[in-house]
Amino acid sequence: MQPIDVTPPPGEPVEEPEATSPRRRRTRMIVLGSLLTVGLVGVGFAGSAAWRVVQQKDATLDTPAEVAGLRRDSTAEALETSDYLRTAIGARIELDESIGTVYNDPANANRSVLLFGGTTLIWTPERDLDTLFELLSDDTGAVNNLHEVDAGDLGGVMKCGESVAPEGNTTVCGWADHGSVVLALLPGRTQDEGGALLREIRGTIQTRD
């Protein structure tokens, strides 16, 4: 077989490969730079989220005899109410440790605070907090005007709303982070007052290893 001659005829120009234009190179650099930036942001976000989990996961909750000017109620009725709510929580959220207690206001018997929740590794704090609010809605009536409030120095998410019931409306607030979730019924207080009181209570009863 004779070899095939691919040499162009004499006088016909030889086509050279098209050089990459400056505009095309610039566009390519912009795209690569954008992808790199997105990648770095993603890595930074994941690292920040992981650090929050590590920082918050090992939480402990205590129920001292006194907190924020309130005194723990040790009557049989208070203990029965606390045990009921702890059982209800366990049916919705699997906790390693749970708390349930009633704190009385020495200045006003109608302003007792009912506190319940517990500790465990929580991957989605806001979702688990919403689960507790749903539990409260099932037991006492709908929680209206639920909104996020300042969680304080311990971080996580805190929300307040109003539990609507025939016998009267009650402020309800709760917090959740990657190590704990707690809800409080705060009768006789506005939502702003309830949020401030719960932040004060939290600062006393919650610690981290």
Nearest Cα neighbor of 149 from 119, 111, 186, 204 is: 186
- What was the pLDDT predicted at 121? 95
- What was the pLDDT predicted at 24? 52
- What was the pLDDT predicted at 45? 47
Contact 175, 181 (CB under 8 A): yes
CATH 3.40.190 holds for 59-208: no
- What was the pLDDT predicted at 25? 58
- What was the pLDDT predicted at 42? 45
For the chain, the three-class secondary structure string (H helix, E strand, C coil) is: CCCCCCCCCCCCCCCCCCCCCHHHHHHHHHHHHHHHHHHHHHHHHHHHHHHHHHHHCCEEECCCCEECCEEECCCHHHHHHHHHHHHHHHHHCCCCEEEEEEEEECCEEEEEEEEEEEECCCCCHHHHHHHHHHHHHHHHCCEEEEEEECCCCCCCEEEEEEECCCCCCEEEEEEECCCEEEEEEECCCCHHHHHHHHHHHHHHHEEEC
pTM, full prediction: 0.74
Each residue's pLDDT expressed in tens, for the chain with a length of 209 residues: 444 444 445 555 544 444 555 555 555 555 445 434 444 444 454 567 788 788 778 899 999 999 999 999 999 999 998 888 888 888 888 999 999 999 999 999 999 999 999 999 999 999 999 988 988 876 666 889 999 999 999 999 999 999 987 778 899 999 999 999 999 999 999 999 999 999 999 999 999 98
- What was the pLDDT predicted at 189? 95
- What was the pLDDT predicted at 36? 44
So where are the chain's domains?
A: 15-56, 59-208
- What was the pLDDT predicted at 26? 55
Q: Output 27-31 pairs: Cβ under 8 A, ≥24 positions apart.
A: none
